[in-house]
Amino acid sequence: MAKLYEKYITVAEQLSLSQQEKLHEVTLGIPIVIKHCYARYFEFSDSFNYVMNTTGRYEDEIIQFSFKEILQQIETADENRVQLRVILLLELISYPLMTRQISDILNVDVQIIDLCIPSLIDFQCLSRTPAEGMEKYEINPEIRLLTRALAQKHSELSSKIRNNILSSYTVDKQLDYSDAELQLVGLYNNYLSEQNFLEAENFIKDQITKNPDSIVLKYYYARYQKNYKRDAINALKLLESIREKSRNHPEILMLLIECYVDLSIPNFEQASVYANELTGIEDEDLKIRLAEFYVRWSTAMKMKRFDDPFEERARQSKYKDLAGHALSILQDVKSRTHHVYYLLAQSQFNLWDYVSAARLINKAIETAEKQGDFTQSTYYYFRNTINNKELSKNNLVILM
């Protein structure tokens, strides 16, 4: 920018430092685009804000001129717009994906994805990222200006793809695994669906021996240890062995949290280390499970008592904070199942808001009955607990 300004030093003052930073952000630091912006500002007297607001848009001449050949290929030559959808997906998701994952999200046959990838690489739209024998693909940083413009231009298609990411790209599908591993997981799940638990365990143990570096096989075996064998200790060993290798994958962190809570003496503090890593997670199922962790921790703290008044006040403050945290997570959950209402009721109860807790547990019971689930005796017991607390509170007010 300093070099560019030498040409305009007699015309006007240089852009301020904050303006230069803004320009660098908008142009993604691409030299030819920065030069284009300087010309618009200093030679054609466009206002700085106007230049910033229009640069990088689909209609911008720098987009149409610089990426003319690419636009022709992905918007015209490719009649089914598969290449366009691949580009939009990788722009929206912002991290490398395997062709299998791209296929899952876009609901396009993986063979078709495999056919369109080489063309996008030839046009320098995509970059390859090696991932232990399984290639991944991401947007070439040098065309980020184009991909951002395409996402704005094709906003309706971008919105559909964004919805696909949320609905179809579930957390377990985000785990890296090959087609061969996918087949092994399918066989393992078949054993479980037929309740052949011994065969399932022997099969997956044998496959882990043959594939000792497989993240996904160890993940599924850890789930088996926790859910079927109730062996949180061995499940933890498996999960800790793949946590770093999985780059702290959200599903693995969540399973670690649940295992630490399921220990004979729950280790909430260690679980909270991993829970902090999941702050801001978008997956609804994970949000609910994370909120359940904070509710369980809050309830465990609520059941303790300390003789020391300072420790007792700290304990009450702690379990209220935990309940409040659970509540804030659940407020962002759109699906209102009876289980979600139950967690909301528990959170309000631990915050001493018995009126809200009673309303929410009634909603949980009502929703469970509508869904044909009449086995929720826990809900009725909790409603009685809330009612007794509210009655005790009212009696105390009368006596005072």
What are the tens digits of pLDDT across the range 82-137?
999 999 999 888 778 888 888 888 989 989 998 888 888 887 888 887 655 568 88
How many Cα atoms sit within 13 Å of 341 on the Cβ side?
Answer: 20
R_g (Cα) of the chain, nearest Å:
28
CA–CA distance, 288 with 304 (Å, rounded to integer): 25
Three-class SS of residue 325? Answer: helix
Amino acid at 32: I
Mean of pLDDT values over 224-252: 89
CB 286, CB 278: distance < 8 Å: yes
Nearest alpha carbon to residue 125 among 134, 112, 116, 133: 116
pLDDT at 271: 94
pLDDT at 57: 72
Mean of pLDDT values over 268-296: 90
Q: Given a cut of 80, is residue 378 above it in pLDDT?
A: yes
pLDDT at 169: 67
Mean of pLDDT values over 146-163: 85
Comparing 227 with 399, which gets the higher pLDDT?
Answer: 227
Using 50, 70 and 90 to split pLDDT, how confident is the model at 399? very low
What is the token pair recorded at 228?
């079927």
Q: Given a cut of 80, is residue 168 above it in pLDDT?
A: no
> Which residue matches tokens 């007794």?
388
Q: Given a cut of 50, is residue 350 above it in pLDDT?
A: yes
Mean of pLDDT values over 280-306: 89
Q: Given a cut of 70, is residue 219 above it in pLDDT?
A: yes
Q: Given a cut of 70, is residue 294 above it in pLDDT?
A: yes
Using 50, 70 and 90 to split pLDDT, how confident is the model at 397? very low
Write the CB contacts of 112 (distance below 8 Å, at least 6 apart in sequence). 82
CB 127, CB 140: distance < 8 Å: yes
pLDDT at 121: 86
Instruction: List 97's β-bridge partners, or say none.
Output: 137
pLDDT at 173: 65
pLDDT at 340: 93
**Domains along the sequence of the chain with CATH:** 2-55 (no CATH), 66-170 (1.10.10.10), 177-279 (1.25.40.10), 282-400 (1.25.40)
- Find the helix or strand (DSSP H, E) in which 396 lies: helix 377-399
CA distance to 7, 35, 115, 192, 248, per residue, from 222 (Å)? 65, 55, 36, 14, 15
The pLDDT tens digits for 326-335 are: 999 999 888 8
Using 50, 70 and 90 to split pLDDT, how confident is the model at 398? very low
Mean of pLDDT values over 359-379: 82
Residue 372: is it exposed, middle or buried by C-beta count within 10 angstroms (0-12/13-18/19+)?
A: exposed
> Which residue matches tokens 């990426």?
67
pTM score, two decimals? 0.63
Three-class SS of residue 29? Answer: coil
pLDDT at 400: 35
Q: Given a cut of 60, is residue 325 above it in pLDDT?
A: yes
Of the given ranges (131-135, 292-296, 351-355, 377-381), which has the lowest mean pLDDT?
Answer: 131-135
CA–CA distance, 85 with 102 (Å, rounded to integer): 10
> Which residue matches tokens 């018995």?
354
- Find the helix or strand (DSSP H, E) in which 138 lies: strand 136-139
The pLDDT tens digits for 26-71 are: 887 878 788 888 888 888 888 999 888 877 677 667 677 667 777 7
The pLDDT tens digits for 312-324 are: 889 889 999 999 9
CA–CA distance, 86 with 90 (Å, rounded to integer): 6
- Find the helix or strand (DSSP H, E) in which 309 lies: helix 309-330
Please calculate the CA angle 89-94-100 and round it to the nearest 5 degrees. Answer: 50
Q: Given a cut of 80, is residue 374 above it in pLDDT?
A: no
Mean pLDDT value across the chain: 85
Strand positions, DSSP E, the chain = 126-129, 136-139
